[in-house]
Chain A
Amino acid sequence: MSKAVHTHALTKSYGEGETRVDALRGVDIDVDPGEMIVLLGPSGSGKSTLLNILGGLDAPTSGEVVVGGQDLLTLSDNARTEYRRQHVGFVFQFYNLIASLTAEENVSLVTEIADKPMAPAEALGMVGLQARIDHFPAQLSGGEQQRVAIARAIAKRPSLLLCDEPTGALDSKTGCLVLEAIVEANSSLQTTTLVITHNASIASIADRVLIMGDGQIQEVRTNTQRAHPRDLSW
């Protein structure tokens, strides 16, 4: 079976000469379709850089990176936009909802430009927010806002869902609700999902945990039994 995500000897450097920083120093990963991966690691370990490259936001310096059969190394800026538009769902730490659009409209912002989207109401239903579809971000709690962001990310039926510290700005109880929504999307849509966190207790919801440090994958752990988010606390 072809891999959903494949990288080999992936490097990313910023700057030149003395100011040069190697953010990724040869990353090799393979992720199966529908797999749930948690990337763990301290600040500066390179996990966000990896996520940005996989999400088509940044170009690698060298190495191989293939997502859904598409080689990201050679993509132009426009092609990368198109790649994000059709294949990638993003969930950010600070939700990044559009304040002037309601929950439903925030979702339709993405469904209108995707090829085979689900209805915004359906996506919001999947994250348990049917009753709040007409609410503006200012009328929603932090957790609700993040669930709208998840609905927005999955509504296009992305092949890759990238979540960068999705619970970073939330308390434990709300964070669990958000993780539930992510896990639900992963299992019901079979979306390959990568979640970045430095919260080790979240790692147990993943199929595999990649532990990063110093720009490399330092350890790979496989969970034989995935925990349910509602059983977590931190």
Chain B
Amino acid sequence: MAFRLNTSPLNRKLLRDLWHIRGQAIAIALVIGCGIGMYVMSKATLESLQQARSDYYHREHLAEIIAPVVRAPRSLVDSLQQITGVAVVQSRIRRSALVDVPGFSAPITSQLISLPSDSSIAISDLILKSGRQPDPAHPQEVLILEAFAIAHGLEPGAQLYATLNGSRRPLKIAGTVLSPEHIYTIPPGDIVPDNKRYGVIWMQRPLLADTFNFRGAANEFVATLSHNAIEADVIAAFDRVLEPYGAIGAYGRDRQISDQFLSNEIVQLETMSWFLPPIFLLVSGFLLHIVLSRLIATERENIGLLKAFGYTDRAVAQHYLSLVTIIAVLGAIIGLVLGISLSRGMNSLYLEYFHFPALPFILPPAVPLTAFVVSLLVAILATFGAVRASARLQPAVAMVPPAPPDYSGQLRGLEQWGARLSPPARMILRHILRWPGRALMTTVGIALSMALLIASSFSMDAIRHMVDVSFNLVDRQDVRISFVEKRPASALYDVQRLPGVLLAEGFSAIPVTLRNGHIHRNEVVLGMDTQPQLGRVIDQNYHPVEIPTEGLLLTRSLAERLRIGRGDFLEMQLREGRRGLYSVHVAGIVESYIGTGAYMNRTALDRLTRDTHQLSGANLSIDASQLDALYATLKATPVIAGIALLNEAQHAFDATMQETMGTMVFFNTLFAALIVIGVVYNSARVALSERGRELASLRVLGLTQREVSFILLGELWLLTILSLPLGALLGWTLSWALTKSLDTELFRIPLIIENRTYAYGALIVCLATLGSGRLIRRRIRQLDLIAVLKTRE
């Protein structure tokens, strides 16, 4: 056989050794593969998302500055164009309106955006996916966002109706589009997409301008920047120019909602890429260490023989290193294949939520290279000691069997404690005490895998908790309506008279700039009743907080970002109405898991704004049986710009989380379970190979299989049980670190780990131990009782 002729005896031995420990080698390669797979998956998906985002933004000239105003002449474009750093400026009209799709009863909130009159100016260009551009001769022709069209089965030529400034107008769909501004489309105030209840519609400017009385005017300016522009300077200049027109503060891409969600996802992927893989690699390093140390121990005589024949230290070391290298490379290949296919899967999942023209799979060349280098490095570092020991073994020493391990130096105190134990129980205890380092490593290995299980499953607990708090403690309203323009307080009486309304609470929303020293943030202050029953705020103990008559309440995340605490003062600049500048004190810090927020008593806020029209919208509690009547009335009410249905939002949230988090949790759990099996099975397998002779001797002496199994598996179970509390602690720590590293502007993931998650981690660990135990018991049955009589250790 050619293969044989080309293979040196040492290499043949290598292949046979590998075959001999194939079960363990595969288990280790799989653990390496999981770590590498996770790394490759997150890096490749990250690269794909980032590349797709930057290509898309670049190609379609996504606006870099967005400056909303109340109303300003279009001609301001020329002044804005003069600002240093501005490449192109465009004005547009953006309004919210309710839309009615035939056959869909619930009202749909939509954003209406004017199409540029001059198509040669390229800002936030749309990509036509079907149909054609609207015909100027037919002003009612519109473009709609593809996801919205798909959700309702709308095709070019179809018709929908919008309540525009009080009148119901038919709109004809000319085409469906993608927009770089709406890669992630969510209803205002929500956190997951709902393409059925929220849509974006691009209308021809003349109709929009005529309807909303915006002829020659605009309420939003968008701009791209030239190469060397400084964004902050341009934003400041925009704010100066637009201030007389009710500017509420220009912002850059980073505050654009779709980009914020995309960035949030990118942060999560980045965290994934460095957070979990090292744990997998650490565990595989530990496994390689114990397996190779044991292999070399059983090979003492062979090593002595090889050296006696004249093989050099280097050749011997190389021999064992090759074995480790093969396992590491196998692991890296498994990881690469796994990572690539998972990443492709993730890309298609992402395409359901992030509307890119395409999300091609990208694998940066550095990723596979890193995967191989890191796997090899871990493998070599983990086995360096054992390999060096094998190389240094003197032939004469190697060929003499090692002396029996000395147990005499053990703690006598412990011995007295264990005096009542049976000899097998004492064997277990002494074996652990004789090699405490290894027992500790096994315990930590099992504990780490349990920690991984907990850390990968706790997010479900955290999200359940977030949903519970957000929808049952904070936003208890069934419906939130927002008005087209601010309404007087008396409008609440009209709202209360709507069909099915059981309770209505008004709120005002005022855009402000909050400033603490050099830190400032544009936020919206919500003006609320003193003791709201529907839209509430809560403290860290989940108790509803009364809105104080003076001062601001800040969410913890906002307070942290402003570096301010309770009792401190900050500057609050109103960005609408009289635009006053006030010094307000922080009356309290409240909890919120989603976004940042500032709250104030509505009466206090009204005093500051001195506006007679204070209400921005209302929270409603509804009699469900009258929902359709309410919908019908709302659709026909001209002053209502948007409707959020909280139950629907919760369902959408649940469904999205089930799909995205559920998939992640499934894979993480699978990987973690694999680690448990890898650690437990390898530990048991090594223990069996070390003690096989002892156990066979006991079988010869008349101990039953059960009694002999107890000695081996008893130790494993003892270590497993010891690892459970440690695993719970490590799981908590790992989850805590995850919440910290995933803390973004959009989300704060609470550290909520339910008891059942701990129990689930412990159960999987115990099942893995049980499974490994079964495999080991089968081997105990196969122990060669006769060989043991004849062979020395």
Chain B residues with CB under 8 A of A110: 701-702
* Chain A window 148-172, contacts with chain B (Cβ cutoff 8 Å), 1 for yes, 0 for no: 0000100010000000100001000
Contact partner of B406 among A92, A139, A156, CB < 8 A? Answer: A139
Contact partner of A109 among B408, B431, B701, B791, CB < 8 A? Answer: B701
Query: Does the CB pair B789–A108 fall under 8 Å?
Result: no
Determine whether A224 belongs to the interface, using a CB cutoff of 8 Å to chain B. no
A200 and B408 CA atoms in complex are apart in Å by 38
CB closest residue in chain B, given A82: B702
* Chain B window 402-437, contacts with chain A (Cβ cutoff 8 Å), 1 for yes, 0 for no: 011111100000000000001110110011001000
Query: Does the CB pair A100–B434 fall under 8 Å?
Result: yes
Task: Report A165 CB to chain B, min CB distance, Å.
Answer: 8
Question: What would be 18 A-B contacts, judged by CB atoms less than 8 Å apart?
Answer: A57-B785, A81-B699, A81-B704, A85-B701, A85-B703, A90-B789, A94-B791, A98-B694, A99-B406, A100-B427, A100-B430, A105-B426, A106-B423, A109-B698, A112-B423, A138-B404, A138-B407, A139-B408
A78 and B785 CA atoms in complex are apart in Å by 14
Chain A residues with CB under 8 A of B404: 97, 99, 137-138
* Chain B window 690-733, contacts with chain A (Cβ cutoff 8 Å), 1 for yes, 0 for no: 00011001111111110100000000000000000000000000
Determine whether B786 belongs to the interface, using a CB cutoff of 8 Å to chain A. yes
How many A-B contacts if CB must be within 8 Å?
103
A85 and B700 CA atoms in complex are apart in Å by 8
A105 and B423 CA atoms in complex are apart in Å by 6
Determine whether A48 belongs to the interface, using a CB cutoff of 8 Å to chain B. yes
Chain B residues with CB under 8 A of A90: 700-701, 789
Query: Does the CB pair B790–A93 fall under 8 Å?
Result: yes
Contact partner of B793 among A81, A85, A88, A94, CB < 8 A? Answer: A94
Known contacts A94-B793, A100-B431; decide if A78 and B704 are in contact (CB<8 Å): yes
Contact partner of A152 among B426, B430, B693, B701, CB < 8 A? Answer: B701
Task: Report B791 CB to chain A, min CB distance, Å.
Answer: 7
Known contacts A100-B426, A112-B423, A152-B701; decide if A136 and B788 are in contact (CB<8 Å): no
Chain A residues with CB under 8 A of B607: none
A113 and B701 CA atoms in complex are apart in Å by 10
Query: Does the CB pair B700–A108 fall under 8 Å?
Result: no
Known contacts A52-B786, A94-B791, A109-B423; decide if A100 and B702 are in contact (CB<8 Å): no
CB closest residue in chain A, given B434: A100
Task: Report A23 CB to chain B, min CB distance, Å.
Answer: 11
* Chain A window 104-119, contacts with chain B (Cβ cutoff 8 Å), 1 for yes, 0 for no: 0110111011100000
Residues on B facing A (Cβ under 8 Å) = 403-408, 422-424, 426-427, 430-431, 434, 693-694, 697-705, 707, 785-786, 788-793
Chain B residues with CB under 8 A of A135: 408
Chain B residues with CB under 8 A of A48: 786, 789-790
Determine whether A96 belongs to the interface, using a CB cutoff of 8 Å to chain B. yes
Query: Does the CB pair B693–A99 fall under 8 Å?
Result: no
Query: Does the CB pair A81–B422 fall under 8 Å?
Result: no
Known contacts A108-B423, A137-B404; decide if A98 and B698 are in contact (CB<8 Å): yes
Determine whether A86 belongs to the interface, using a CB cutoff of 8 Å to chain B. yes
Query: Does the CB pair A136–B406 fall under 8 Å?
Result: yes
A100 and B687 CA atoms in complex are apart in Å by 14
A78 and B702 CA atoms in complex are apart in Å by 10
Chain A residues with CB under 8 A of B705: 81
A84 and B698 CA atoms in complex are apart in Å by 11
Query: Does the CB pair A138–B789 fall under 8 Å?
Result: no
Chain B residues with CB under 8 A of A109: 423-424, 698, 701, 703
Query: Does the CB pair A138–B786 fall under 8 Å?
Result: no
Chain B residues with CB under 8 A of A29: none
Task: Report B169 CB to chain A, min CB distance, Å.
Answer: 88
Contact partner of B789 among A81, A112, A164, CB < 8 A? Answer: A164
